[in-house]
Structure 1
Amino acid sequence: MSDPKKSKDAEDILSEFHDIHTSPEPEPQLPSPEPEPQLPSPEPEPQLPSLTSEPSPETRHNPEERDVIFVGTKPIMTYVSATLTQLSTRHTVTIKARGKRITQAVDVSQMIVKRMNTVGYVISDVRILSDSLTSQDGKTRNVSTIEIDITKN
Structure 2
Amino acid sequence: MAELKGNDENVVFVGDKPVMNYVQAVVTQIGEGAEEVVLKARGRAISGAVDVAEVLRNRFLQDLSIESIETGTEKLEGESGTVNVSTISISLGRR
TM over 0.5: yes
1:140 pairs with 2:72: no
**Alignment counterpart, residue 104 of structure 1, candidates 14, 34, 48:** 48
Q: Which runs of 5+ in 2 are unaligned?
A: none
The Cα shift of 1:117 comes to 5.3
Q: Which protein shows a greater Rg?
A: 1
Query: Which has more strand, going by share of residues?
Result: 2
TM-score, structure 2 length as denominator? 0.85
Q: Percent identity?
A: 36
Structure 1 CA distance for aligned equivalents of residues 39 and 26 of structure 2: 8
Letter in 1 for 2:82: T
**Alignment counterpart, residue 73 of structure 2, candidates 119, 130, 135:** 130
Q: Which residue of the partner structure matches residue 151 of structure 1?
A: 93
Q: Flag the structure with more relative contact order, 1 or 2, with Cα contacts below 8 A and sequence separation at least 6.
A: 2
TM-score, structure 1 length as denominator? 0.54
Structure 1 CA distance for aligned equivalents of residues 87 and 29 of structure 2: 21
SS at match of 1:146: strand
Q: How many residues matched? A: 90
Q: State the 4+ residue runs in structure 1 displaced beyond 3 angstroms.
A: none
Q: Which residue of the partner structure matches residue 53 of structure 1?
A: none
Q: Which runs of 5+ in 1 are unaligned?
A: 1-56
